[in-house]
Chains A and B, each alone.
Chain A
Amino acid sequence: MSYILDGYNWDLTDPGSIPNLLIAHISITFVSVLIGLAIAFPLAFLVARFKHLYLPTVTTAGILYTIPSLALFALLIPFTAFSQATVLIPLVIYTQVVLIRNIVAGIRAVDPQLVEVGRAMGMNSWQLQWRVVLPLAMPVIIAGIRVVTVTTIGIATLAPWVGTEDLGTLMYQGFNFARSDMEAAGTILVIALAVAADLLLLGVQAALSRGQRVNALSEA
């Protein structure tokens, strides 16, 4: 605790200070999840429609997920050296299997009757996806985003191995210099960040499923 409480470690001008490492960690996570979503959404809508593509896509994403992160870093270093890309690419890859699975599960769980009603009201296919399928699938999709965000916050602690600073730096340096207070500070901050992110997304999930949540309450 002493490391976290020490005012010296909160100096904003020091790139290695707690707030700067925290911001770096948040931005790495945010960018990875965002890029992950940008890839997973079109893929998921594609494989939800063309069902025979689902298995190969999810299997590929699953296999990529099993590659250890350090191995993936090592594979990338010849191409991207010690740039942020070396960290972001694996993180984005790891998001895919959970995101694609959850988005597809969310889409499939949408009551086909409601899609049919939308069609009967005269929605075109874009309006159907945007106004009916996506909002109804959203609670399941956000659940996937929660899992992915927490996982990414965890894996991002390995970034210092390939030269990108974030909260992992505290653990990495604490280990190298036998500073257990630094190591503990890194661990506590990462856990706190993961819990905070999870609660935030839980709030979003609740807000987005108002109609459904009311249902749960009224039927209780």
Chain B
Amino acid sequence: MATIEFVDVTKEYPNAKTPAVDNVSFTVHEGAICMLLGTSGSGKTTLLRMVNRLIDPTSGEIRIDGVPTTQQDPIALRRSIGYVIQQVGLFPHLSIEDNVRVVPSILGKSAAETRDRVDELLHLVGLEPAEYRKRYPRQLSGGQQQRVGLARALAADPAVLLMDEPFGALDAITRARLQDELLNVQRGVRKTILFVTHDVEEAFKLGDQIVVMSEGKLVQEGSPIELLAQPASDFVRQLVGADNILRQFEYQPVTAALEPATDAAQERIAADERLLPALLRLIQMRNGALAVVRDGETLGQVSLASVFASVQSIHRNASAASGEHNRSADSAPVIR
């Protein structure tokens, strides 16, 4: 695992009027999924490729576990960082097995040594090794190829994973399935992941942290809830859809609508659940309340009234001028 710090990172391409990445600073904590979200040309890919030194910053530095990347040999650095791109980029002349073991093999490991590892990785990404090991990339669907791309990136057990719109070319259903599986895989491997996307839903679904980029600048950085509750500008508000009540229901935890427990609470709901399932349950129950529990301890309850109140206050806050916080936004919990 590893912490990645961006410190005043700037990248100017020759002959460009404005920097592709402009003085960007933020920290990605160990084991977190950080989503780089922004419109086309906002510098996401450039920022990502500076981490494994495919590009070097014009100024500023990137530190992995406190060590500036410029102090590391680029070849060794890249071998210790997984890399997945939208175009997948499997080597067409190599079998799936040989594609997955590219990094171990350039590190000098033989096919015999890596056989078990390849099987393990193919299992991990949901491909039956016996069926797929000997196939060639062209014999796989786009979704299957991207699974292999993920397996290849994980092969040498890197602490850091860079993913540049990995699911961007897939249909909605396959994309959703791969997103779920990435979360599944991540539960087991706990990598520090930097994930580029321009899909807001994807950013919210996968991200522990979202970094919003625009024209090379970091516009806002925070958890999905923080972005929804306190968008730093109209740009972010529109981008994340902070005015969208459904999205609020989807991503706000039930604790955002907490009120003191009463006898009305007939059922229980876990504190890390979102408002939406709570709301649906309350509607089904026609009324009443749900006791919000964490580790067996009752924190309070949510009722239709408290849910509506919380969303209204979030919505009011989101529509208000940025910088002006009210009670509900300030107390919006941060999920990690």
Contacts and interface: CB of A to CB of B under 8 A. Distances in A.
Nearest to A120: B83
Given A120-B83, A122-B75, A215 B138 contact: yes
A138 B75 CA distance: 26
B226 to A, nearest CB: 32
A119 B78 contact: yes
Contact of A121 (B79, B87, B139): B79
Nearest to A132: B91
B92 interface: yes
Given A121-B103, A123-B106, A211 B92 contact: yes
Nearest to B162: A120
Given A119-B78, A122-B79, A211-B94, A113 B138 contact: no
Contact of B89 (A117, A127, A208, A212): A117
Interface residues of A, number: 25
B93 interface: yes
Chain A binding surface SS class: helix
B137 A211 contact: yes
B136 A120 contact: no
Interface string A93-132: 0000000000000000000011011111111100100011
Interface string B116-139: 000000000000000000001111
A218 B85 contact: no
A182 B16 CA distance: 73
A209 B138 CA distance: 12
Given A121-B83, A122-B78, A214-B136, A135 B106 contact: no
A210 interface: yes
B105 to A, nearest CB: 8
A136 interface: yes
A124 B93 contact: no
Interface of A: 113-114, 116-124, 127, 131-132, 135-136, 138, 208-212, 214-215, 218
Given A116-B54, A121-B78, A210-B136, 18 more contacts: A113-B87, A113-B89, A114-B92, A117-B85, A120-B52, A121-B79, A121-B152, A122-B77, A122-B103, A124-B75, A127-B106, A135-B93, A136-B91, A136-B92, A208-B93, A215-B92, A215-B136, A218-B138
12 contacts: A113-B87, A113-B89, A118-B91, A119-B78, A122-B79, A122-B80, A122-B106, A124-B75, A208-B93, A211-B93, A218-B138, A218-B139
Interface of B: 52, 54, 75-80, 83, 85, 87, 89, 91-94, 102-103, 106, 136-139, 152
